[in-house]
Amino acid sequence: MPQETALYDDLSARENVAFFARLHGVTDPRTVAESVLRDLDLADRFTSATYTLSGGMQKRVSLAAALVHDPELLILDEPTAALDPLLKRNLWKRFREMATQRKTLIISTHLIDEAMLCDSVVLLQHGHVVAHGSPDSLISQGNVKLTYHEEGTERSETVTADSAAIAKALHAHGLSLKVTGLDIQAENLEDVMVSLLDKKEQK
């Protein structure tokens, strides 16, 4: 699915989706188009000319056109750009459902909270892979800030975010009787990505 809507303005939502269904030799393209549109909450918009639909609706029609032949692999270029938060959440719910049905989705995004929802994240810079892994494994490449509260004062240290390093730090400093409280603050994916990109730039 391209970033721009890439639909025929004058055609109805159903005609647009059915056209792409026909290109893939889908049998009974009209009915299939209707069912995909219904899935995307566009049941009352089958016959509306695409140019009369709101931006979010057009985006969903465009997604329907990409989904209509039930592809094994789906490449989505910023699918939620300019969508309201509710719609965005629904779409991601649907992407997750598709992933559960063993479909492959490749999604480009600049939003870290969306990247967090993926099984695997690839961070690209100037066409090169900077980092690659599950969101959790990337976060574990970042740092954790441990803050010990001790009778009125506090002391903090930063360690790498893997469990061995944290355990070691806690063993060395955290087990003192003076420690009355402990804050563990891990970097989020965005922090990790920014520092990875920084490191890459400095090289």
Partner 1 sequence: MRILIVARRVVQQLRHDKRFLGFTIVVPLIIAYFLKLFFDTLPPVVSREAFVIPFTSYIVYFLTFILSALLLVQERTQGTLNRMLINGLRRTDIIVGYVVGYLGLAIIQAAFVLLEVLLLFKLDYSFSVILAMGAGLFVLAVVSVLLGIFLSTFARREAQVIPFIPIVVVIPAFLSGLLADPSLLPRWAEWIGKIFPIHYGINLAKSAIAPGLDSGGVWPNLGYLTIYAVVLVIIGPLTFRERE
Residues that bind partner 1 (CB under 8 A): 2, 4-12, 15, 19-20, 22-24, 49, 65
Nearest approach, Cβ of residue 12 and partner 1 (Å): 8
Nearest to partner 1 of 51, 158 (CB atom): 51
Q: How far is the CB of 57 from partner 1 (least distance, A)?
A: 16
Question: Side-chain half-sphere of 84: how many Cα atoms within 13 Å?
Answer: 7
Are 99 and 118 in contact by the 8 Å Cβ rule? The answer is no
Q: Which is nearer to partner 1, 106 or 172 (CB)?
A: 106
Instruction: Please say which residue, 26 or 121, places its beta carbon nearer to partner 1.
Output: 26
Question: Considering the complex, what minimum distance in angstroms separates the CB of residue 106 from partner 1?
Answer: 14
**Contact in structure between 61 and 37 (CB atoms under 8 Å):** yes
C-alpha–C-alpha distance, residues 125 and 161, integer Å: 23
Specify which residues 132 forms β-bridges with: 122
CA atoms within 13 A on the CB side of 167: 3
Q: Which is nearer to partner 1, 61 or 189 (CB)?
A: 61
State the nearest-atom distance from the C-beta of 1 to partner 1, in Å: 9
Smallest gap from residue 94 Cβ to partner 1 (A): 21
Q: Which of 77/119 has CB closer to partner 1? A: 77
DSSP codes of every residue in 84-144: -HHHHHHHHHHHHHHHHTT-EEEEE-S-HHHHTTSS-EEEEETTEEEEEE-HHHHHTTSEE
How far is it, in rounded angstroms, from Cα 48 to Cα 66? 19
